[in-house]
Amino acid sequence: MPADVSATHPDVKYSVPVALHVVDRPRLYDLLDLGAESPVTLVSASAGWGKTVLLASWLGARAVERPAWLTVGPADDTPDTFWRAVATSLAAVVGAPADALLRRVADDRSGTDLADRVADAVRHVVGPAVLVLDEVHQITSPEVWTGLHRWITAPPEGVRLVVLTRRDPPWPLHRLRLAGLLAEVRASDLAFVPPEARELFALVGVELTTDQLELLVRRTDGWAAGLRLAALPLRAPGADVASFLASFSGDDRTVTAYLQSEVLEPQSERVLRFLEKICILDLVCAELADAVTGDDDGAAMLAELSASNLFVQAVGEGGRWFRLPGFVTDVLRSRMVEPRARRDLYRRAAEWYRRRSLPEAAIRLALAGGLLPLAAELVGVHDVGLVLRGRGRELDTMLAAVPRDALLAHPELAAGLAGARMVYGRDEELADLIGAAEARLEALPAPRARRVRLVLDLIALADARLRGDLDGLAAACRRIPLDPGELAELGLAGWDLVRVLTLSNQGTAELWLGELDAAEVHLRAATEAEPAVGLVLPRVNALAQLALLECARGHLTLARTEARAVVARATATGSAPTIQVVSAYLALAWAHLDSGELSEVDPWLRKAEEVAAAAPEPHVALTMAVLRAHRRAENDPEAALLGLQTRTRALAPSVVPARLLDRSLLAQAELAVQLHDPVRGRSALAGLQAHDTPEAVVALAGMHLLEGDPDGAEQLLAGLGGGPSTVRTQVATDLLWALAAAARGDDEAALGSLDRALHTAAPHELRRPLTARADGLRRLLSRRIERGTGAAAFAVELMSRLSRQLDPAPDPARRTPTPLTPRETVILRYLSSTLGNSEIAAELSVSINTVKTHQQTVYRKLGVGGRREAVRRARELRLL
């Protein structure tokens, strides 16, 4: 099997082929022009009919604007690789805004809805563009064909599609014809007519009579390859045209035999030897030709053969790369009967690509040549880099073609295939592949065995992450070395990617297991250690987890800022719908919830749920359930508690760690407090695995308060020792101290503790721990505002929330006759504090005269003459 190296040379894969020494064919150009009336033009004919040359010359002759070209290869035979390649091709020609959308698809490694996203992006194309898909018969994936069919049946206006293939695609062609969606160019159209054949022969200096020309066209049915082959002997001096025409039939079988005996055999030994060696390659350049042949005349030979326009054809701009026509390589490869010589050619080609750090092409050539030991060594060195840079499906395609017994006999091949499949969630034969790799590790030299062991540890890491096994994920990460020197010694290409991936996942596991300080160390190291070229998703994952970590600590404003930056980056790189971004969505939902910005919670929860539906992780599901319950409790705490209990029971049998199950139980206890139900609160706390965490102690202290036992609450809070570790627990602790002191009648202690809670919560806009205790807090907060506080603006705004929460609809009879405007209401709340007018003006960023004007209006509407009387009257009217 020849190696497909076009993916290694994007300048070739996406370049319009060079059309030299070609016949101008206006009748076919007109046919292609007419095809613009349909969304797709199908050019279907077997090898040698000149499909590629026709399209290349048509684009030039008609000066077609914005032509995009994609030469399809075996590596494109999956939906994600195919549509990423299509997006790359189109992005280079369509212009804004479609180009940015297409580049996001091209960079997206999630493989999610890429066909639809390409179609949506193309609908933003302004003006006509043409996309040529060459060699489409290489595609076997039904999903790719289905995506192309959807494109045709719902065609975007901005791009016309031209498909070049040796076989008809698996589409309902008759229905597409009837619907006017399909234009076609067939072999009968591509066949040379006598005037075109005369021009073809004239290009090589051959003159034939009209009868001779028409006979030759009939013999070949106008087949371009047959005519070109026939032209070679006819241009020789003194050629016997009549004898030649008598023996030349022009059909495939005859042309093959003719190619063997009359075209190849007469070539010099030097040319023939060169052709027989380079025919293993789909693409060849001078340097590669020299490596394969062992000579140093590759450049001269390719130039000489290109001039004949038969044996090699220039591909792409610059004239550096050449391709042998298929009908020539088929014959040449059939002549390679010596297995050892054949293997040696493939080995030389593979080694050439390896030396140039092009491992994918090297592996393909090694496998094509049956060089499994070499392929195994290459895979062992390069599989991690290929997989982590998004080439897992291509590696899967290559290795899946190896006979099973041979594959399992080579640990590096088995582990490489397992790793390729694990990274995109394909679990087919994973256990067998991993078992085979582990069973044969001892047969490998020590350095190679260590590389395979690392790959197996990375597979265990990915498996644990997919299953939500955070303890298993942490354990797998600990087995992988993080020291750059130790990793580099393995001789593994992409070792720097391994470090980033491991740091990101280790920090992720620690975060969800509640080890916040250790998590921060590893996550920040992951963001700083990213290589210049390589992974996007592990860095996105680390940044998203850091945003969630800040939210867990209570740093809500910082969490929102960091999470929004992650979402913007993920959107720009096409990774927004991946599990690596979920934590950013959760952080935004959580931060808005705890800030009291309830309308902003649901959109972020929906985004998290959309991703989790495709890639479910139990710890994410439980966290979403907790956040959803707190959101629902704003209107119906009873339903919120019951729903959370049901969801937690459903997730408990999974691998959710005890720390996360405890988080759900603590949330249930908090909801029970809102319902004034200490029985259910105690029941939830009894199920905790860890009773000595600050969160558990604070929750139990809150239960004592609910039961009318402030002394018991204070005794528990005093036992916290070194003090709370996060803003959240600090605010909750100070608040409970305040409420307990107030319950004992110690107003001074209560006001002091409340002031500490306000000072801690205000910079982070952390409101929910305070509003959750609205019943006991409002009177105390009102007195705190009257006595003064350094967090006056936060306290006044919080008081407004508590008033709306506890008195959503005041008695109309007690309302002020002339309602206050929103600005006047704000001024009234500040009047209840100890701030002077200049301080109020500074808080509101207005002038002192504006404050005085609103102040006088408030007095007038309330029917009072001063500040103290205004506050008293506002309380009577329940405006404060």
Q: What is the pLDDT of residues 700-739, one digit of tens each?
A: 999 999 899 999 999 999 988 665 579 999 999 999 999 9
Whether 747 and 826 map to the same domain: the answer is: no
Domain check: are 176 and 199 in the same one? no
Q: Are residues 158 and 41 part of one domain?
A: yes
User: What pLDDT does 724 receive?
Assistant: 59
pLDDT on residue 232:
74
Put simply, whether the predicted model's pTM sits higher than 0.75 gets the answer no
User: At 165, phi and psi to the nearest 5?
Assistant: -155, 155
Residue 662 has φ and ψ, to the nearest 5°, of -60, -35
Q: Three-class SS string for 349-377?
A: HHHHHHHCCCHHHHHHHHHHCCCHHHHHH
Of 776 and 376, the structure prediction assigns the larger pLDDT to 376
Asked if residue 580 and residue 727 are part of one domain, the reply reads: no
Q: Could you tell me if 598 and 592 are in contact, meaning their C-beta atoms sit under 8 angstroms apart? A: yes
d(CA 229, CA 144): 36
For residue 252, pLDDT over 60 is answered with no
Query: pLDDT band at residue 40, thresholds of 50, 70 and 90?
Result: very high
pLDDT of residue 545: 96
Identify whether residues 343 and 332 lie together within a single domain.
Answer: no
- The secondary structure of residue 42, as a DSSP letter, is E
Q: State percent of the chain over pLDDT 90.
A: 43
E strand or H helix at 28:
helix 26-34
User: What pLDDT is attached to residue 770?
Assistant: 92
pLDDT at 11: 59
Short-list 187, 212, 186, CA closest to 201: 212
| Residue 616 shares a structural domain with residue 480 | yes
pLDDT digits (tens, 9 = 90+) for 302-346: 888 876 655 777 776 566 888 776 667 777 887 776 889 899 999
In a domain, 467, yes or no: no
* Amino acid (one-letter) located at 70: L
Distance CA 282, CA 3 (A): 7
CATH of the domain at 515: 1.25.40
- Residue at a domain's end among 297, 317, 336: 336
Q: What is the residue type of 74?
A: P
Query: Hey, is 684 helix, strand or coil?
Result: helix
165 forms beta bridges with: 44
The tens digit of pLDDT for each residue in 125-143 reads 877 889 999 999 989 999 9
How are strands ordered across the β-sheet holding 129-134? Answer: 67-71, 129-134, 159-165, 40-44, 182-186
Domain end position, chosen among 669, 702, 728: 669
| H helical segments located in 39-155 | 51-61, 79-91, 98-107, 114-122, 142-153
Sign of the torsion formed by the C-alpha atoms of 326, 327, 331 and 334: positive
Other CB atoms within 10 A of residue 192 CB: 24
Specify the DSSP element, H or E, that contains 70. Answer: strand 67-71
Give CA–CA dist 319/313, Å, rounded.
Answer: 9
Residue 709 in domain:
yes
How confident is the model at residue 5, as a pLDDT? 40
Secondary structure of 480-541 as H, E, C letters: CCCCHHHHHHCCCCCHHHHHHHHHHHHHHHHHHCCCHHHHHHHHHHHHHCCCCCCCCHHHHH
Residues 241 and 302 in one domain: no
Please compute the mean of the pLDDT values over residues 171-198 and round it to a whole number: 90
Distances (CA, A) of 249 to 75, 216, 226, 328: 38, 8, 9, 18
* Angstrom distances, CA of residue 464 to CA of 393, 538, 582: 21, 16, 17
DSSP code per residue over 457-470:
HHHHHHHHHHHT-H
Q: Cα dihedral sign for 93, 94, 100, 103?
A: negative
SS3 content of the chain, % helix, strand, coil (to 5): 70, 5, 30
What is the model's pLDDT at position 434? 94
The more confidently predicted of residues 127 and 479 is 479
User: For 778-795, what is each residue's pLDDT tens digit?
Assistant: 889 988 888 888 888 898
Q: Do 381 and 492 touch, CB atoms closer than 8 A? A: yes
256 within some domain: no
Q: Does residue 262 register a pLDDT over 80?
A: no
DSSP state of 155: -
**pLDDT score at 318:** 61
Say if 800 falls within a structural domain.
no
- Is 42 domain-assigned? yes
- Tens of pLDDT, residue by residue over 626-659, are 999 999 998 888 989 999 999 998 887 777 788 8
What is the per-residue pLDDT for 389? 78
Work out the number of other CB atoms within 10 angstroms of the CB of residue 675: 15
Assess if residue 807 is contained within a domain: no
Does the pLDDT at position 3 exceed 60? no
- The CA–CA distances, whole Å, from 741 to 586, 750, 753, 779 equal 35, 5, 9, 13
**Residue 489 and residue 535 in one domain:** yes
Instruction: State the total domains in the chain.
Output: 7
Round the average pLDDT of the chain to a whole number and report it.
86
Higher pLDDT pick, 805 / 451: 451
Distances (CA, A) of 359 to 350, 380, 387, 488, 494: 8, 11, 12, 18, 12
Helix H, strand E, coil C: the string for 841-880 is HHHHCCCHHHHHHHHHHHHHHHCCCCHHHHHHHHHHCCCC
Which helix (H) or strand (E) segment is 131 a member of?
A: strand 129-134
- Residue 271, domain member (yes or no): yes
Mean pLDDT, range 192-196, rounded to an integer: 93
Q: Are the CB atoms for 464 and 473 separated by under 8 Å?
A: yes
Q: Which residues pair with 69 in a beta bridge?
A: 132
Q: What are the distances in angstroms from CA 579 to CA 117, 427, 464, 582, 613?
A: 19, 18, 14, 5, 10
The dihedral over CA atoms of 681, 685, 687, 691, expressed in degrees to the nearest 10, equals 180
| pLDDT band for position 239 (cuts 50, 70, 90) | confident
Looking up residue 861, the CATH number of its domain turns out to be: 1.10.10.10
- Within 10 angstroms of residue 291's Cβ, the number of other Cβ atoms is 19
Residues 515 and 663 in one domain: yes
Same domain, 738 and 712: yes
* pLDDT, mean of residues 555-572: 92
- The answer to whether residues 202 and 152 belong to one domain is no
pLDDT tens digits, residue range 766-775? 999 998 888 7
Taking each continuous run of H as one helix and of E as one strand, the counts in the chain are: 49, 8
Amino acid 254: pLDDT: 60
36 pLDDT band (50/70/90 cuts)?
Answer: confident
579-612: buried (b, 16+ CB within 10 Å) or exposed (e) per residue? bbbbbbbbbbbbbbbbbbeeeebeebbebbeebb
Q: Is the pLDDT of residue 453 over 60?
A: yes
Segment among 3-12, 48-57, 476-485, 801-810 with least mean pLDDT = 3-12
Confidence of residue 115 (pLDDT cuts 50, 70, 90): confident
What percentage of the chain has pLDDT greater than the value 70? 91
Asked if pLDDT for residue 92 goes beyond 80, the answer is yes
Cα gap 827→848, rounded to integer Å: 12
Q: Comparing 267-276, 311-320, 496-505, 844-853, which segment has the lowest mean pLDDT?
A: 311-320
Give me the pLDDT at residue 554, please.
94
Q: Is the pLDDT at 815 greater than 60, yes or no?
A: no
Examine the fold and report which residue of 760, 792, 824 is the final residue of a domain before the chain moves on: 792
Give the least confident one: 190-194, 313-317, 477-481, 712-716: 313-317
Tell me what pLDDT residue 4 has.
42
Contacts of 600 (CB under 8 A, 6+ apart): 588, 592
The answer as to whether 621 is a domain residue is: yes
**The tokens 């997206």 sit on which residue?**
108
Distance (Å) of CA 610 to CA 62, 120, 321, 566: 47, 19, 45, 17
Which range marks the domain in which residue 207 is found?
192-248
Rounded CA gap, 372 and 365, in Å? 10
Report the CATH number at residue 278: 1.10.10
Q: Which residue has the higher pLDDT, 440 or 823?
A: 440
Residues 98, 150 within the same domain = yes
CA 337, 339, 340, 345 torsion-angle sign: positive
Q: Are 830 and 867 spatial neighbours (Cβ–Cβ below 8 Å)?
A: no
Under the banding of pLDDT at 50, 70 and 90, the label for residue 33 is very high
